[in-house]
């Protein structure tokens, strides 16, 4: 039973339908149209004279039922001069009412209309279900994107746990740390030794820590990387010796304690890197970029270098870091080049080309861990923090250089030529570095000459 609009209850009059149904696609001219008439929206709002003319020119497919239209209905139609949409009684959703600027006609559904009559055609409500549908679609999209993001985070977290466990299982640890009280900053002692492994260890015994670097990450301020010359004269338990022999003669913790005495601050972590493994570390990255402004042919280290910048493999990088006899600055020059090599390695390892290549990352991690011995408290997290601090220290806002010394050729009986350090000035230097108050740039005696 059809529903009657309020205005229909007032009575009936001879009035044409609000649009002329089209039977173009219907073989039976007397049947009810199976689809919404084309251009129904535009025809619905023509004035009554045009509707009458069209009714005469083209007979409707059904006999119009006379009805009386109330004044309210007439006002409704004349006031809304834009296109108005109509919906059928059995149409499941309301059609969209368009804007007052005649933007576009709302579309009709293709659902078949079974009981179509003029009394069943009425203006839509002012609330738009199409806007609600768009709103729901938008929020469904946001929901799907949120689920995708959560999935990605779960996968990344899972990979992070797996990577953490894998790296942690590869770490070789030894006892390096002392009972010196903690300080707020984080400090790493990075050592490079010539200790051999395998068959070489049988032929060449003993080792020297020829590279000694102190990496400091303050709570705030600039990170720093400071070298301690391998021939620095130190006193351990009343015995004078060069600092590069302390670990071999007195043990790992004795070397850590000696460095803490020079800096006045606690060493939180230690990483010893064997030079023999440096070749594999560089080769795992392919090449690294190094620059040196002197042409060198050194038979001791095997370095043959043309002044300028070059991309080098692991063998050349090792010779570059060992050469000192052909360097006019001798051990100080070598320390500077060793910082260059480590900086170049970290730069390449943290580059986008490396980090986006999982096999290269894994190869670098394995080569690095195979050639390194860490302290007893180190883990993958402290390794990552060390790498980030190293990158900061060797960047434009970092502090690099050497400790201060007063005599580079201080002779001591039973020790030989050694570097005499300026203890008071070094304590002052590391106090500033630990507080993060030192200005960026180069420091040390050579930097001030």
Percentage of the chain modeled with pLDDT above 90:
37
User: What confidence tens digit (pLDDT) does each residue in 101-142 have?
Assistant: 444 444 444 444 444 444 444 444 444 455 555 555 555 555
Residue, of 444 and 25, whose pLDDT is higher:
444
Sign of the CA dihedral running 441, 443, 447, 448: positive
Cα(386)–Cα(369) distance, integer angstroms: 14
Instruction: Please answer whether residues 232 and 243 qualify as being in contact, where contact means their C-beta atoms are separated by less than 8 angstroms.
Output: yes
Greatest mean pLDDT range, 107-121, 257-271, 333-347, 435-449: 257-271
Q: Sort strands 224-227 and 209-217 into parallel, antiparallel or unpaired.
A: antiparallel
Buried b (16+ CB within 10 A) or exposed e, 126-154: eebbbeeeeeeeeeeeeeeeeeeeeeeee
**DSSP H helical segments within 293-379, as ranges?**
314-322, 330-349, 352-355, 358-370
pLDDT of residue 149 exceeding 50: yes
Q: What is the Cα–Cα distance from 373 to 214, expressed in whole angstroms? A: 16
Most confident of 182-196, 322-336, 424-438: 424-438
Report the C-alpha gap between 168 and 381 in whole angstroms. 9
Return all residues near 369 (Cβ < 8 A) that are at least 6 apart. Answer: 167, 170, 171, 172
So what's the pLDDT on residue 356? 85
Q: Look at residue 258 and tell me whether its pLDDT is greater than 60.
A: yes
Closest CA to 204 of 275, 283, 252, 297: 275
Q: What pLDDT is attached to residue 175?
A: 96
The more confidently predicted of residues 324 and 310 is 310
Question: What pLDDT, on the 0 to 100 scale, is given for residue 434?
Answer: 97
Cα separations in angstroms, 90 against 59, 87, 112: 25, 8, 10
Contacts of 120-123 spanning 24+ positions with Cβ under 8 A: 120/2, 120/3, 120/88, 120/89, 121/17, 121/18, 121/19, 121/86, 121/88, 122/5, 122/86, 122/87, 123/76, 123/84, 123/85, 123/86
Mean pLDDT of 314-321: 92
Query: Which pLDDT value is given to residue 260?
Result: 98
| Segment 54-70, tens digit of pLDDT | 444 455 555 555 555 55
Q: How high is the pLDDT of residue 155?
A: 55
In the chain, the percentage of residues whose pLDDT exceeds 70 is: 61
pLDDT of residue 431: 97
CA distance 259 to 188: 11
d(CA 60, CA 31): 11
pLDDT in tens, 323-333: 888 888 887 88
Using CA atoms, how far apart are residues 321 and 200, in angstroms rounded to an integer? 20
Q: Which of 330-334, 398-402, 430-434 has the lowest mean pLDDT?
A: 330-334
Q: Which residue has the higher pLDDT, 123 or 171?
A: 171
Q: Would you place residue 156 in the very low, low, confident or very high pLDDT band (cuts 50, 70, 90)?
A: low
Alpha carbon distances (Å) from 410 to 406, 416, 418: 9, 8, 5
By the 8 A CB rule, do 317 and 282 touch?
yes
Mean of all residue pLDDT scores within the chain: 74
Identify which has the larger pLDDT, 283 or 358: 283
Q: What is the pLDDT of residues 196-236, one digit of tens each?
A: 555 444 444 456 888 899 999 999 999 999 999 999 999 99
Residue 211 confidence (pLDDT) = 86
- In this prediction, residue 163 carries a pLDDT of 79
Position 44 pLDDT exceeds 80: no
Rounded-to-10 torsion of CA 321, 327, 330, 335: -30
Tell me the C-alpha distance between 311 and 315, whole Å.
12
User: 233-236 and 239-242: which strand pairing?
Assistant: antiparallel
Of the ranges 162-171, 316-325, 430-439, the best mean pLDDT one: 430-439
DSSP β-bridge partners for residue 123: 86
pLDDT of amino acid 394 = 87
- What's the predicted TM-score (pTM) here? 0.61
Nearest alpha carbon to residue 58 among 96, 34, 29, 78: 29
Summarize the confidence of residues 438-448 as an average pLDDT.
88
Q: What is the pLDDT of residue 189?
A: 96
List the strands of the sheet with 269-274, edge to edge. 173-174, 372-375, 269-274, 186-193, 209-217, 224-227, 399-402, 441-443
Helix H or strand E segment including 215: strand 209-217
Asked if residues 287 and 311 have their Cβ atoms less than 8 Å apart, the reply is yes
pLDDT of residue 13: 45
More confident residue, 58 or 89: 58
């Amino acid at each position: 039973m059809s529903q009657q609009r309020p205005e229909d209850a007032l009575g009936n009059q001879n009035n044409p339908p609000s649009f002329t149904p089209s039977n173009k696609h219907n073989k039976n001219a007397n049947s009810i149209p199976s689809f919404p008439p084309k251009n129904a929206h535009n025809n619905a709002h023509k004035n009554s004279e045009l509707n009458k003319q069209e009714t005469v020119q083209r007979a409707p497919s059904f006999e119009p039922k006379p009805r009386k239209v109330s004044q309210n209905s007439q006002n409704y139609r004349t006031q809304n001069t834009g296109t108005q949409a109509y919906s059928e009684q059995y149409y499941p959703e309301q059609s969209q009412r368009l804007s007052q600027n005649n933007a576009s006609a709302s579309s009709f559904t293709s659902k078949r209309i079974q009981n179509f009559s003029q009394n069943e055609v009425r203006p839509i409500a002012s609330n738009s279900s199409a806007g609600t549908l768009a709103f729901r679609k938008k929020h469904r999209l946001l929901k799907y994107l949120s689920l995708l993001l959560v999935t990605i985070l779960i996968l990344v977290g899972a990979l992070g746990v797996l990577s953490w466990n894998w790296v942690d299982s590869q770490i070789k640890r030894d006892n390096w740390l002392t009972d010196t009280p903690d300080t707020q900053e984080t400090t790493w002692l990075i050592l490079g030794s010539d200790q051999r492994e395998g068959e070489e260890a049988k032929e060449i015994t003993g080792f020297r820590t020829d590279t000694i670097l102190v990496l400091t990450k303050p709570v705030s301020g600039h990170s720093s990387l400071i070298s301690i010359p391998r021939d620095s004269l130190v006193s351990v338990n009343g015995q004078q010796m060069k600092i590069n022999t302390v670990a071999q003669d007195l043990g790992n913790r004795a070397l850590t304690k000696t460095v803490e005495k020079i800096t006045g601050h606690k060493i939180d972590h230690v990483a010893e890197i064997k030079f023999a493994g440096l070749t594999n570390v560089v080769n795992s990255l392919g090449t690294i970029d190094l620059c040196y402004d002197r042409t060198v042919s050194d038979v001791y280290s095997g370095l043959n270098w043309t002044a300028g910048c070059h991309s080098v493999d692991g063998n050349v990088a090792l010779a570059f870091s060992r050469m000192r006899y052909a360097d006019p600055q001798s051990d100080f020059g070598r320390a500077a080049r060793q910082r260059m090599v480590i900086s170049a390695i970290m730069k390449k390892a943290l580059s986008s080309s490396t980090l986006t290549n999982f096999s290269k990352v894994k190869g670098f991690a394995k080569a690095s861990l195979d050639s390194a011995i860490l302290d007893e408290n180190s883990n993958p997290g402290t390794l990552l923090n060390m790498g980030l601090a190293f990158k900061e220290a060797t960047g434009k806002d970092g502090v690099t250089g050497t400790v201060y010394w007063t005599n580079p050729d201080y002779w001591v009986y039973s020790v030989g030529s050694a570097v005499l350090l300026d203890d008071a000035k070094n304590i002052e230097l590391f106090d500033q570095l630990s507080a993060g108050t030192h200005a960026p740039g180069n420091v040390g005696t050579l930097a001030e000459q």
